[in-house]
Amino acid sequence: MRTKQVRPEKLEFEYELHISREHDPILKKDYILFDFRTKKVFENFVYRLNVIPEIKSEKLEIEFNIEGLSAPRLDISKSGNAGYQYRFFDFKNAEYELILLKYAKGKIHYGLKISGKSVKVTKHPKKTFIKILTGED
């Protein structure tokens, strides 16, 4: 008698990107927090997500290149999602083009409107590898 093979659940998205407007009490400045997380939970280590940011303020473009994972530099094992955070301090209240790149998945474009105390996604691509969440969701 054969046993049934257990396969991991297929995820709709590989990553989540939480975008929020925050305040730094030390610098006394507001910033936009881009918090990337893998959907997958790693059992033995909390890996670091390698992301290269490129901000083009004059063109109102924010670009993130998601390169992959790197091993942690800890001696203690711990489970959790891989993550990366970026704080964008010198933003304008305007509509930005958010560009996300991932090897073998291509380039996707979003519209991101920063105004008042909120951040809102205004344009969604049809196919994506990442789920974007804001305080508005």
pLDDT of residue 2: 65
Residue extents of the structural domains in the chain: 15-134
12 CB-side CA count, 13 A: 4
Q: Which residue's structure tokens are 């929020």?
A: 20
Which element (helix H / strand E) includes 91?
A: none
Q: Beta strands of the chain (E only): which ranges?
A: 15-24, 29-42, 48-56, 61-70, 80-88, 95-102, 106-115, 118-123, 130-134
DSSP symbol at 24: E
pLDDT of residue 136: 63
pLDDT of residue 93: 92
User: pTM of the prediction?
Assistant: 0.85
The tens place of each residue's pLDDT in the chain, 137 residues long, gives 566 665 556 667 888 999 999 999 999 999 999 999 988 877 777 788 999 999 998 999 999 999 988 877 766 777 778 889 999 999 999 999 999 998 877 899 999 999 888 899 999 898 888 999 997 65
Sign of CA dihedral 57, 130, 35, 38: negative
